[in-house]
Amino acid sequence: MRYTTIALTVALAALSVTTPIAQEKIDKDIQWKIRREATDNSQILRTLHFLTDVYGPRLTGSPNLKAAQDWVVKETTAWGLKNAHLEPWSFGHPGWANEKLSVHVTAPVKDSLVTEALAWTPGTNGPVTAQAVQLIVPSQPTKDVLTKFFADNTARVKGKFVMVGAATQVRVTILTPQKRREDNDVRAQYDGSAAAGGFPGGGGPGGPPNPNVVPAAQVAEQLDQWLVTAGAVGRVNDAGREHGQIRAFNNRTFDLTKAVPTVVMRNEDYGRLSRILADGTPVELEMNIVNRTYPEGATAYNVIAEIPGTDKAQEVVMLGGHIDSWHSATGATDNAIGCATMLEAIRILNAIGVKPRRTIRVALWSGEEQGLLGSQAYVKEHFGMVENPKPEHANFAGYFNIDSGTGRARGMSVFGPADAAAILSQATRPFEDNGFFGVSATQSRRRGGTDSTSFNEAGLPGIGISQDPIEYGTHTWHTNLDTFERIIEDDAQQSAMVIAAAVYHLAMRDEKLPRLPKERMPPLPTP
């Protein structure tokens, strides 16, 4: 019995050890050419200039986004890429754009206020002057409590600008987050001592919802509709962030008839008005908002261009990011720089004259900010799900995605077995001098966060790229500060180098990147 136990223990230990993969053949000459082209002839800032200064912001369905996409088709064709085109998908909502916006306090003082319009809300049809009132909506109300709140305040909001919610108390930041990750921390993440990459769990399932409480999404929708029917002339939301940062998203219904003209105001102005009202002093505001809708925006597009393959042309390696942005700024770090980096990677490969075995295809998605809609539509149309695949599913060799700002690439996470991560680690190891330190594997099929997860969900090798944070989460992500000035060109150049090398490696291997076999494919997560 003792010897049987020892033998079983040894066998189990052997199963737990990953079988070493064969040494990858790295084309050092190509990698040297990639570095030289990326350094000597970079087009990143030129591409970024057009996507941001000329065509930004690029809200899904807007004329600006369509103009940016048309420019990419023209530019990539001039570079010599093939089959550059726009591929349509159904957004289902009209496009929207803010053309003019001014908000002033006219009493008891006179001053201009800093705001951004909420997308898919109506304009004011000219300047409107009215008193402001502030409402604190009940937290987690029952249906009866919410109904009473609306009834008690209907007369109060008629003909008024309504400031919804208390002013957020934004504390002074004493210790600012680091903008670059320490090399040793990044190495530890990818050397096998840290957990594999992927999206973290949410701490376990929550308890069942209270059936007597109106869900927050329904409260928000009912509040918007009530403001319309009660005759409010406008709504003001507190941005609730430091140093004048504003994040303005959208009316969740996309229906302009279900919202009043709405702005998001910087916390510093919102707090000032709130304090004046708390003194019992009336506040008068003037708003002039010009918003426009575009019915043609209901059809949205992804941008596609490629370098055709040779003996394995039916197989495809993809790279990309989302080209749409929010409307409060020109969308530089989210995600024009990601698009510029991926366009630069494929431009570099084409410029140095590679003849890839597999087709290399760049894709710039729209609708990402509304829920990864463009990449989902593409995956559904071309690949299907692993449970019900289309023919192209079997020919897919990997999709590289970048979407975390201007910081240089520090590592990657690939959906698939450990062997897939090991192959990419070997292909990218020569770029440790750029601060790139490895690749981890994830088996999460949960969609969310960015477009690589649309591929993961389908059981395909999506490859998400991790980056130095710089100012992304603290200052620029979805804010009115997301402009050309926040970009670090050298970081983007270094990212383009390592991505171009990794893409080329997958395009040239004898075999596609390994995938999880069917018996090990995790099921789709429950919603």
Q: What is the predicted pLDDT for the residue at 521?
A: 97
pLDDT for position 526 = 87
User: Which single residue is written with the structure tokens 């708390």?
Assistant: 278
Q: Which of 20-29, 344-353, 376-385 has the lowest mean pLDDT?
A: 20-29
Give residue 22's pLDDT: 83
| Residue 8 scores a pLDDT above 50 | no
Mean per-residue pLDDT, 370-388: 98
The pLDDT score that the predictor gives to residue 461 is 98
pLDDT of residue 204: 46
14 has pLDDT over 90 = no
- Distances 31 to 109, 354, 427, 512, 513 between C-alpha atoms, Å: 63, 11, 10, 20, 20
Q: In what order do the strands lie in the sheet with 439-442?
A: 82-90, 299-307, 358-365, 312-322, 396-401, 462-467, 409-415, 439-442
Taking every pair of Cα atoms in the chain, the longest distance, rounded to a whole number of angstroms, is: 90
Give helix 489-508 / helix 28-40 axis angle, nearest 10°.
150
Burial class (CB in 10 A: 0-12, 13-18, 19+), 276: middle
Question: 285: which DSSP letter?
Answer: E
Residue owning tokens 């530890």: 188
Q: How sure is the predictor about 206, in pLDDT bands with cuts at 50, 70 and 90?
A: low
ω into 335 cis (within 30 of 0): yes
Q: Is the pLDDT at 197 greater than 60, yes or no?
A: no
Which pLDDT does position 277 carry in this prediction? 98
Predicted local confidence at residue 193, as pLDDT: 42
Beta strand 396-401 pairing with 384-385: unpaired
What own/partner pairs with CB < 8 Å and gap ≥ 24 does 199-204 have?
199/442, 199/444, 199/446, 199/448, 199/449, 199/453
Alpha-carbon distances, residue 137 vs 70, 108, 143 (angstroms): 44, 26, 13
Mean pLDDT, the chain, as a whole number?
93
Which amino acid makes up residue 469? P
pLDDT at 18: 46
Average pLDDT on 379-383 reads 98
- 505-515 pLDDT, tens digit per residue, is 999 999 999 99
Q: Are 67 and 56 in contact (CB under 8 A)?
A: no
Indicate whether 79 pLDDT > 90: yes
8 Å CB contact between 356 and 309: yes
The β-bridge partners of 415 are: 442
Phi, psi of 241 (to 5 degrees): -130, 165
Q: What is the torsional sign of CA 41, 337, 339, 449?
A: positive
Residue 297 above 80 pLDDT?
yes
Please tell me the chain's helix, strand, coil percentages from 3-state DSSP, rounded to the nearest 5.
40, 25, 40
Strand ranges in 58-175 using DSSP code E only, listed in sequence order = 82-90, 95-107, 111-113, 115-117, 128-135, 161-164
* CA 134 from centre of chain: 33
Under a CB-based contact definition with an 8 Å cutoff, are residues 510 and 356 in contact? no
pLDDT band at residue 340 using 50, 70 and 90 as cut-offs: very high
Q: Is the pLDDT of residue 7 over 70?
A: no
Q: 161-164 and 299-307: which strand pairing?
A: unpaired
Q: Which residues pair with 313 in a beta bridge?
A: none
Report pLDDT for 207.
64
CA-CA-CA-CA dihedral for 24, 390, 415, 16, to nearest 10: -80
Rounded average pLDDT over 94-100: 98
| Pairing assessment for the beta strands 388-389 and 82-90 based on DSSP bridges | unpaired
Residue 203 region by backbone torsions, left for phi larger than 0, else alpha for psi between -120 and 50, else beta: left
Residue 527 has what pLDDT? 79
List the one residue out of 315, 445, 439 whose CA is nearest residue 21.
439
Can you name the residues that pair with 300 across neighbouring β-strands? Answer: 89
DSSP-derived 3-state class of residue 77: helix
**What is the predicted pLDDT for the residue at 212?**
87
Looking at residue 12, its pLDDT comes to 35
- Cα separation, 102 vs 506, in Å, equals 51
Instruction: Using alpha carbons, list the distances in angstroms from residue 157 to 161, 163, 227, 233, 287.
Output: 7, 10, 8, 8, 16
- CA dist 167 and 108 (Å) reads 19
Nearest-angstrom CA–CA distance, 402 and 404: 6
Angle of helix 337-351 relative to helix 28-40, nearest 10 degrees?
120
